Structure 1
Amino acid sequence: MENIIPQEWTKFYLKDVSFVNLMTHRIFNVLIVANPYDAFMLEDDGRVDEKIFDEYMELGMRYPPSFTQVSTTEEARRVLGTTAIDLVICMPGNADNDAFDVARDIKAHFPDLPCVVLTPFSHGITRRIQNEDMSIFDYVFCWLGDTNLILSIIKLLEDKMNIEHDIQEAGVQMILLVEDGIRFYSSVLPNLYSYILLQSQRFSTEALNPHAATQRKRGRPKVVLARTYEEAMAYYEKYAGNTQGIISDVRFPKDGVKDPEAGLKLLREIRRRDEYVPLILQSAEAVNEAKAREEHFLYVDKNSKKMNIDLRNMLAEHMGFGDFVFRDPVTKNEVARVRTLKELQDNVFNIPNDSMLYHVSRNHVSRWLCARAIFPVSQFLKNVTWHKLQDVDAHRQIIFDAIVQYRKMKNVGVVAVFDRGKYDRYAHFARIGDGSLGGKGRGLAFLDNVIKRHPELNQFDNATVSIPKTVVLCTDIFDRFMDANNLYQVALSDASDEEILRHFLRAQLPDKLIADFFTFFEATKCPIAVRSSSLLEDAHYQPFAGIYSTYMIPYLDDKYEMLRMLACAIKAVYASVYYRDSKAYMTATSNVIDQEKMAVILQEVVGNTYGTHFYPNISGVLRSLNYYPIGDETAEDGIASLALGLGKYIVDGGQTLRVSPYHPHQVLQTSEMETALRETQTRFYALDMANAGEDFKVDDGFNILKLRVREADKDKSLNFIASTYDPYDQIIRDGIYEGGRKVITFAGMLQQGVFPFPEIMQMCMRLGAEAMHRPVEIEFACNVNANRTIDFYLLQIRPIVDSKQMLETDLNTIPDERCLLRSHSSLGHGISEDVYDVVYVKTDEHFTASNNPAIACEIERINRRFLDEGKGYVLVGPGRWGSSDYWLGVPVKWPHISAAKLIAEVALKNYNIDPSQGTHFFQNLTSFGVGYFTINTHTGNGIWRKEILDALPAVEETEHVRHVRLEKPLCIMMDGKKQEGVVLAEELLNVQQ
């Protein structure tokens, strides 16, 4: 490219248009005053209500007006006195002058009410109009019995009511019709409106869903009727920058008298001011055709039998309606045609140079976009004129970039209907099907909307905030799949998880999805996560976090193999609704399994490819409530758990970095070298790109690799993520250096200020909590790019529902002697006095962590009995509950302990595992008001009076677990803000004393 594109045309921001704010003034109620004969003709022969209603519905317009018909002035006054009427139409009476007399009478009593006179065309009427003051009426029209005229009158008045606001609000365009001949404008207006309204139906297909399509129609050009030179100039001068085109007669009043060349004078003056605006001259006098051609005005012959067709063709060709036809500038032959914005984007670099030059030098692209209500791009391109930038290729690039930015902007915050013709790498969030998006799907759509409403999230030059490219298969696809394959019988049976999965994998998804999936592959070109999004999942009071499966499939060159894997993953997610854990959880939450329906989210996996591995630089979970504040942190400051690699590592309870986004320099785990070496991440999860998933398993992590951090070091993915341990100087240095162990500290992200990472986390927590009006948990992933930019992707948002129980007691005032358990690091809030049972792990001198898997099985069986009985219990054991590494704690899943009302992790003298903060169960704990105590009696951090329970008879005792029941209920009290918790058992402690 010879010319360099000026900077202001390479960096631009397109402001979105809110179509919902347009056309806010409507005509809902119309009063028609007509003699009995015309009233009968309208009602019986014309059926005006029905015709207008059908016309509105056919054009996809809402709010058709209702009509009230009366025959006399007295009836009209009575109706006007009792009903809110927006428009009065006075029709011919028994004599020529009746309609005018009735209209004058109504205007005298209701001067601000729009009033239109319909009159038959005759010489008597013509004389009367010439000799009387018609200015008190809004309009006078010639009535020939065509109900389309009434539709045009309503639209003309609505346009007049809305034009000023809509132009200021969105840049809506104006078509100015200059004509004083009643008979002519009475016939041309219905023709003009029917064409414009049909076009609005066509351009509404640019919308991403049916609701947006209906609203887009409000952006159609407004039609304005001027009857004198002065009126026309006043409209033009007011809305010059938004004039789509002008259609003018030649002979009409100027300076108070009929001027035979008024139209020519008007168009000359407008052309002097604007070289691009289309100008159409129309006349019944043949002599005017040569004058129009001479001045390069377009011309329409009023006497032509095909006048209406000629006018429509000119609107299509010159005012931007219809398809954009690229023409050869010499022969005027068509060289290309585009119908949609995406087609223009795809073809802008393929148009021959001379044709492209012809159109951009006349601002045709801007006008075509304007006619389609794509105002932001049109307005931007309108300023990039040929005078300012004489380079065809530069124009191509600018048009392409503007369309891409507009489509990205329009996609954010909108759930589009998936359309193979529109979905490409610039598309964003779409749904297939008409059912629900499910819990996670709704959360993602909500996050996308939060991003759209808060542009400050993307205010930083080196950081973007968005959600990944997403397609949701709605719940109706699930229903059809289950019914068509007759799966309910096996799904609701007691069959094993493996057998249920086998049946589901043999079933068939609808064939029509195949082409959609191929389009999605082409648009994403990266691995795809197939995530559950059930009706109950992540609902405000029904959090099903981590209950259903999430599979990941690698991106392959063989698209048919990728299709097979995707289909298997979707069916496996569907099957997970009916696995044993899911059914147990349903029972625990008092839900009925056959009420559950599953949507499935197909989403690009955030990350980069490193050989045969794929993973993001950072995964994280943000929680706007921090139940473990340290130092000067507060509970309201929130907390983030950060990890290298896929987020499954965090969900599985892996070792993460815990940091408050408001205190990024205060990280407990990296405060001392020994702690940093011991308590930071040494492993991470990555997707195995070499595993094509021949055998899908119940375990959704079957193709997820657990790698050592040194693998990431080889991948060179640790920039700004890791620090380096120098064993010679016994120091940890921020950054990557040769040799030395790499320690995952996120120092470059948190403390060095290279990226606005803490600020983005703060904003996400604050805006998410404000939007949901309650504390939230947000999952995210982040790519750190080589050019020192970051892409921050929000993956999920869930509400954290706090217990509403009031806690008035200061727990610090309760003496230790009254406590069976006490924790100074408790999670949860509220009071519970309905628990009689304690289940605890026997931690005598024979305890070893190698038995933890067996302990998990024993507890699962005991928990099932509590579920059957509808009772709760206190669960106490060593190490981290729910850790996937059984050396760190008992590897239970939430369904295995879902009847527990309080869970306590206790440190042993020779088994002192750092507390987990209930990572894996956080959402479930807070939503169900379950407490989580951390106790270390060896450091004086809490009390655990196990010896008291050992002295009681056991309800059940296994090799590793003991269950005791009290006669009176325990009193569980938790102060979530102070992280204090106690369990009181007065009867036991009194006996002991």
Structure 2
Amino acid sequence: STPQSYFVATDVFDQFKDTNELTWVMNQKYRSADEIRELYPTIKDRFNAGSFPNDITQELQDLLQRHKGQPIIVRSSSLLEDSYGTSFAGKYHSYFCANQANASENLDSLSKAISKIYASVYSPDALLYRKKMGLLDYDERMAILIQVVEGDKHGNWYYPPIAGVAFSQNQYRWTPRINPDDGLVRMVCGLGTRAVNQTTDYARMIALSHPNIRPESGANAIQHYSQKKIDVINLKTNSFETQSITKILHGKLKWLRLVAMQIADDYLSKLITISPNIDSKTLVLTFDQLLEQTNFVSQIKRMLQYLSRHYNAAVDIEFTTKIEYKENKPIASICLVQCRPQSLRTENSPVTIPTDLHKTQIVFKSHGMVQDAQVDKIRFVVIVPISAYDSITDPTRKTQVARIIGRLNHTLREERFVLIGPHRWGSSNPDLGVKVTYADVHNTKMLIELVPDSGRKTSEPSYGTHFFQDLVEANIYPLAINLTQDEAYFDESIFSDSPNLLAKLSPKDASYADLVKIYDIQEITNGNTLSVVMVSSTEKSVGFISNTNKK
């Protein structure tokens, strides 16, 4: 099925700009990166203060009245974002409207959501992406898709039992047994935002060829890499919220045993019966019984195959799933929310790690899920040290680190460089990683994440999120170095006596030299560069100093 949907055509976008004297924003795409960033807050304010023509306002009022009390979601829908090879994943945001207030407030909320999407056409992320993809001269005319949110009411909360994103091609295999042609699902309980957005939480990864083979094993690991928070609509406060699963999930939910298990004494057990007395703190979201007891896997595979066949290309979709019961047998009913061509990284030939590397050549080693790749001739390394970043107590300084990375991304745009930083690049929470966006990193060759050996914070590669799709399209390779593993390490000694080039390359940021360090590998090693080899079959990666003139 598909949700009830309504379409606001592109001519309304043009009318909105004309009515509110905003046609001058058309020149935004030809400004410099710094000018685009500087002017965008003004553009957002002007669009937010805009109003719609009377006939459009009346139609929006009629729509809200028709679905009075039903939450809705407002999505972008443009020709460029859904074209082949350019998914624009995450460039334009979607907005939930709880639709629980009076008619005037509901209309204002819907109007503001549309105007925010209109303004995002001129955001740094969207414009710099268009520039990189050679799409700057195209006229991006924005349409709007308004959909009724699929879900159910549970007290004051509204959410679907299951939602997520699925890909017809699985490029993120964690075992050679997985067939990439069968696809991949990234699944959560609640609204699907936690499956597609970059968060500090975890989604269930399902390889559709082998749905029961997980990336992790053991009860403790499964619990650690399980979803801890859930996105819902609070009908009482008329807002979108993120809550702990312990607050939302309870033993009266009939479908609970399909999505959750209980943990006790390091052992995971099925929920045999549903009872109000279940301790929500013992619940672990695994979705195992959903995969075993329902037709979800076969349904989603058929859906992906059907859509791929008619698109004549790999696709990615967003979906929700409702659980229905027929003679007490659970049946998964999937609702297709969105579909677009999937962005695919060119499959590389198998690579091997050189066997003659001397220990002094090796900068880092890692063990974990990767794609076959070899990135050579890296001249500059930009490092955000873990200890220095974690010691920042002023949130504005952490935000400033992200802005410095963005400026260096522009300064080094003609160079081959990598970014190495703590925890998770692109985290929505700056305490758990540098809060960068596509516009801040799109020129780098790799995004390398350091997971500290203290164990205080951990990270997973965010396969399937919009931020990860950005990396795929920009041909940027992600790599996580988990320093808790015996085989993994990052040797910073090679840089210990070398000059930090931050003040030279970005003089205005010189006071942040303890938080952002830039090194010229050629200068340090008398003309050599850094190479990184990642091998999927062994899940091993090595970064080493290589002779640039060799071969």
How does the TM-score come out when normalised to structure 1?
0.47
- Looking at structure 2, the residues matched to 835 and 543 of structure 1 have their Cα atoms a distance apart, in angstroms, of 28
- Looking at structure 1, the residues matched to 348 and 267 of structure 2 have their Cα atoms a distance apart, in angstroms, of 50
Q: Is the 8 A contact 2:388 2:514 kept in 1?
A: no
Report the counterpart of residue 419 of structure 2 in structure 1: 875
Cα 1:805/1:511, change in 2 over 3 Å? same
- Looking at structure 1, the residues matched to 350 and 211 of structure 2 have their Cα atoms a distance apart, in angstroms, of 33
**Counterparts of 1:288-327 in structure 2 under 5 Å?**
none
Report the residue type matching 2:256 in the other structure.
N
For structure 2, which runs of at least 5 residues remain unmatched after alignment? 29-34, 503-511, 523-527
Which of 471, 475, 478 is residue 929 of structure 1 equivalent to? 475
Report the counterpart of residue 511 of structure 1 in structure 2: 54
- Looking at structure 2, the residues matched to 978 and 777 of structure 1 have their Cα atoms a distance apart, in angstroms, of 28
**Counterparts of 1:486-525 in structure 2 under 5 Å?**
486-489=21-24, 492=28, 497-521=40-64, 524=67
Structure 1 residue 710: Cα displacement: 2.4
Report the counterpart of residue 483 of structure 1 in structure 2: 18
Which of 831, 854, 863 is residue 406 of structure 2 equivalent to? 863
Whether 2:318 is the aligned partner of 1:779: answer yes
Structure 1 residue 529: Cα displacement: 0.7
Structure 1 residue 829: Cα displacement: 5.1
Cα 1:806/1:677, change in 2 over 3 Å? closer
Which of 190, 204, 213 is residue 666 of structure 1 equivalent to? 213
For structure 1, which runs of at least 5 residues remain unmatched after alignment? 1-465, 693-702
Q: Secondary structure at the match of 1:952?
A: coil
Q: Is the 8 A contact 1:850 1:887 kept in 2?
A: no
- 1:732-764 deviations in Å (ceiling 9; x for gaps): 33354423322212133112x2x2011122223
Between Structure 1 and Structure 2, the one with more strand by share is: 2
Q: Secondary structure at the match of 1:939?
A: coil
**Counterparts of 1:185-584 in structure 2 under 5 Å?**
466-489=1-24, 492=28, 497-521=40-64, 524=67, 526-556=70-100, 558-584=102-128
Whether 2:442 is the aligned partner of 1:901: answer no
Report the residue type matching 2:228 in the other structure.
T
**Counterparts of 1:659-738 in structure 2 under 5 Å?**
659-669=206-216, 671-692=217-238, 703-714=239-250, 716-717=252-253, 718-725=255-262, 727=264, 731-735=268-272, 736-737=274-275, 738=277
Report the residue type matching 2:55 in the other structure.
K
Cα 1:634/1:841, change in 2 over 3 Å? farther
Q: Secondary structure at the match of 2:256?
A: coil
- Looking at structure 1, the residues matched to 80 and 479 of structure 2 have their Cα atoms a distance apart, in angstroms, of 28
Q: Secondary structure at the match of 1:891?
A: coil
Report the residue type matching 2:185 in the other structure.
A
Q: Secondary structure at the match of 1:652?
A: coil
Report the residue type matching 1:790 in the other structure.
A
Report the residue type matching 2:271 in the other structure.
D
Q: Is the 8 A contact 2:406 2:436 kept in 1?
A: no
Report the residue type matching 1:764 in the other structure.
M
**Counterparts of 1:164-183 in structure 2 under 5 Å?**
none
Structure 1 residue 912: Cα displacement: 6.1
Q: Secondary structure at the match of 2:521?
A: strand
Q: Is the 8 A contact 2:187 2:203 kept in 1?
A: yes
Which of 605, 611, 620 is residue 155 of structure 2 equivalent to? 611
Report the counterpart of residue 32 of structure 2 in structure 1: none
Report the counterpart of residue 493 of structure 2 in structure 1: 947
Q: Is the 8 A contact 2:401 2:434 kept in 1?
A: no
Structure 1 residue 925: Cα displacement: 1.7
Between Structure 1 and Structure 2, the one with more helix by share is: 1
Structure 1 residue 916: Cα displacement: 1.8
Structure 1 residue 677: Cα displacement: 3.2
- Looking at structure 1, the residues matched to 313 and 87 of structure 2 have their Cα atoms a distance apart, in angstroms, of 14
Which of 332, 346, 351 is residue 790 of structure 1 equivalent to? 332
Q: Secondary structure at the match of 1:573?
A: helix
Radius of gyration: which is bigger? 1
Percent identity reads 23
Structure 1 residue 838: Cα displacement: 1.0
- Looking at structure 1, the residues matched to 378 and 85 of structure 2 have their Cα atoms a distance apart, in angstroms, of 22
Report the counterpart of residue 807 of structure 1 in structure 2: 349
Cα 1:564/1:786, change in 2 over 3 Å? farther
- 1:453-488 deviations in Å (ceiling 9; x for gaps): xxxxxxxxxxxxx22222222322212221232113
Cα 1:864/1:533, change in 2 over 3 Å? farther
Structure 1 residue 583: Cα displacement: 4.3
Report the counterpart of residue 112 of structure 1 in structure 2: none
Q: Is the 8 A contact 1:802 1:829 kept in 2?
A: no
- 1:552-603 deviations in Å (ceiling 9; x for gaps): 1123474444333222211121122234444454455555388433221111
- Looking at structure 1, the residues matched to 420 and 135 of structure 2 have their Cα atoms a distance apart, in angstroms, of 27
Q: Is the 8 A contact 1:838 1:875 kept in 2?
A: yes
Q: Is the 8 A contact 1:830 1:929 kept in 2?
A: no
Report the residue type matching 2:269 in the other structure.
I
Q: Which has the higher contact order (CA 8 A, sep 6+)?
A: 2
Report the residue type matching 2:15 in the other structure.
R
Structure 1 residue 946: Cα displacement: 2.4
Cα 1:846/1:879, change in 2 over 3 Å? closer
- Looking at structure 2, the residues matched to 616 and 682 of structure 1 have their Cα atoms a distance apart, in angstroms, of 16
Report the residue type matching 1:986 in the other structure.
S
**Counterparts of 1:13-52 in structure 2 under 5 Å?**
none
Report the counterpart of residue 965 of structure 1 in structure 2: 520
Q: Is the 8 A contact 1:633 1:660 kept in 2?
A: yes
Whether 2:299 is the aligned partner of 1:760: answer yes
Which of 268, 271, 278 is residue 739 of structure 1 equivalent to? 278
Report how many aligned residue pairs link the two structures.
Answer: 512
Q: Is the 8 A contact 1:652 1:883 kept in 2?
A: yes
Cα 1:838/1:770, change in 2 over 3 Å? farther
Report the counterpart of residue 986 of structure 1 in structure 2: 546
How does the TM-score come out when normalised to structure 2?
0.81
Q: Is the 8 A contact 1:880 1:888 kept in 2?
A: yes
Cα 1:661/1:635, change in 2 over 3 Å? closer
Q: Is the 8 A contact 1:803 1:830 kept in 2?
A: no
Deviates more, 1:565-574 or 1:496-505: 496-505
Report the residue type matching 1:601 in the other structure.
L
- 1:913-963 deviations in Å (ceiling 9; x for gaps): 444223432211222211111223542444533221334322116232211
Cα 1:803/1:502, change in 2 over 3 Å? closer
